[in-house]
Amino acid sequence: MSEQAILQVDELKVGVIDGKKKTPIVNGVSFDLKEGETLGIVGESGCGKSMTSLSLMGLLPKGIDYLDGHIHLGELNLESFSKRNWRDIRGKKMSMIFQEPMSSLNPVYPIRKQVREMILSHEKVSQKEADARTLEMLKLVGIPRPDEVMDNYPHQLSGGMRQRVMIALALVNDPQILIADEPTTALDVTIQAQILELMQSLQKRLQMSIILITHDLGVVAEICDRVVVMYAGEIIEEATTKMLFDEPLHPYTKGLLSSLPSIHEEKEYLSSIPGTVPPPGSIVQGCRFKERCPFAHDRCSKDPEMFAHLNGSKVRCWLYGEEETS
């Protein structure tokens, strides 16, 4: 793993534009993705993690747009891209796989045609060559009987097989970055283990970086090198995976980790975080977690910055603010 960042997200704001009213959903998110690393973006539903990932691919839904900030992919400034520019990037430099493989594959075309289309839209090769590459790719992602599966339709495959096809489709043009949005959430645990193992081995082989969006801290522990934790549209903690589990800093991260039931411990009640996430667009002054936070304090009505902590993590919480000032 090298230290060079291949993707930089800088103070990115994405939101709903309704006439003159702008409601940010992703509110000033910054992070780097280094070469060859797996970065996890963790958070609960509605925290803006999926919007962040869609904005990286230029796939924001209608009515939602970039408000501010930058996304740098090498020399390129992605947030100002036109449709045409995006088409050259997607699938070639960056690829994405989604949660539900059934709804992201075209049900009326056989696998062969869908992968072929992906290859031909970026390269001028013969159909024969494209088919050969498809076959090779299907083998690589561990599909049994790949020559038969080539001519299958998505509905003939199981969930795990479909997700493998999605991965093959995403990786066929050898992208630098793979964005995986909850890739295993719809799958059973035994299949999830297979897919995570596959992603890890492919990453080593193909030397790519992965951004993994998930709500499942177990999956993070499994394959991520570094993690950013999102809450209500903001990044509230950034740490290496080991640090996040050994020494979580933000009260939200702590609460999240301790509310997970564990196989190894026996306790009657789980600790839980009271209350619910504030809805996007609700005007919260200062820290967005303060309503649910056991350590809330007067100063929390001011917006905390991302403070650097001694253990190398960064955290958006006033509890860790003194170290810098004093």
Partner 1 sequence: MTTPLLEVKQLKKYFPQLGGVTGRKVLSEVKAVDGVSFTVNRGETLGIVGESGCGKSTMGRTILKLLEPTSGEIFFDGNDITNLSPKEMIKYRKDMQIIFQDPFASLNPRMKVFQIIEEPLINFGVKDKESRKRRVIEVAEQVGLTQAQLNRLPHEFSGGQRQRIGIARALISKPKFIIADEPVSALDVSIQSQVLNLMRDLQKEYDLTYLFISHDLSVIKHFCDRIGVMYLGKMVELTDKNSLYTNPLHPYAQSLLSSLPKSHPDEKKERIVLTGDVPSPSNPPTGCTFHPRCFSCMEVCKNVEPAFIEVEKDHFTSCHLYPNSAELQNKSIEKESVVHV
Q: To the nearest whole angstrom, how small is the minimum distance from the Cβ of residue 182 to partner 1?
A: 13
Site string for partner 1, 297-316 (x = CB under 8 A): --------------------
From candidates 106, 127, 156, 276, binder to partner 1 by CB under 8 A: 276
Q: Which residue in the set 37, 79, 222, 234 belongs to the binding site for partner 1 (CB under 8 A)?
A: 222
User: What are the E-state strand segments in 57-176?
Assistant: 64-73, 76-77, 94-97
First to last CA, the chain: 35
Looking only at residues 43 through 102 of this chain, which bind partner 1 when binding is defined by CB under 8 A?
44-45
2 binds partner 1 (CB under 8 A): no
- Alpha-carbon distance of 217 to 228, in angstroms, equals 12
Residue 259 touches partner 1, criterion: CB under 8 A: yes
Is residue 278 near partner 1 by the rule CB under 8 A?
Answer: no
Q: How far is the CB of 149 from partner 1 (least distance, A)?
A: 13
Residue 190 contacts partner 1 per CB under 8 A = yes
- Distance of closest approach, residue 86 Cβ to partner 1, in angstroms: 31
With contacts defined by CB under 8 A, name the span among 18-26, 192-200, 303-311, 318-326 that binds partner 1.
192-200
Binding to partner 1, residues 138-167 (CB under 8 A): 144, 158, 160-161
CA dist 268 → 218, 223, 252, 264, 294 (Å): 21, 30, 22, 13, 21
Q: Round to whole Å and give the CA distance between 254 and 250.
A: 6
Name the E strands within the chain. 5-18, 21-34, 38-42, 64-73, 76-77, 94-97, 177-181, 209-214, 226-231, 234-240, 307-308, 314-315
DSSP for 249-311, written as a single string: -SHHHHHHHHTS--SS---SS-----S-PPPTT----S-TTGGG-TT--GGGGSPP--EE-TT
Q: Does 273 bind partner 1 (CB under 8 A)?
A: yes
CB of 271 to partner 1, least distance (A): 7
CB under 8 Å to 101, separation ≥6 — which residues? 154, 159, 162, 163, 165, 166, 186
Contacting partner 1 (CB under 8 A), which of 58, 101, 154, 255? 255
Residue from 75, 268, 298, 322 binding partner 1 (CB under 8 A): 268
Look at strands 64-73 and 76-77 and give their pairing. antiparallel
Looking at beta carbons only, is 30 or 194 nearer to partner 1?
194
Q: List residues near partner 1 by CB under 8 A.
A: 44-45, 144, 158, 160-161, 188-194, 196-197, 215-219, 221-222, 241-242, 245, 255-256, 259-264, 267-274, 276
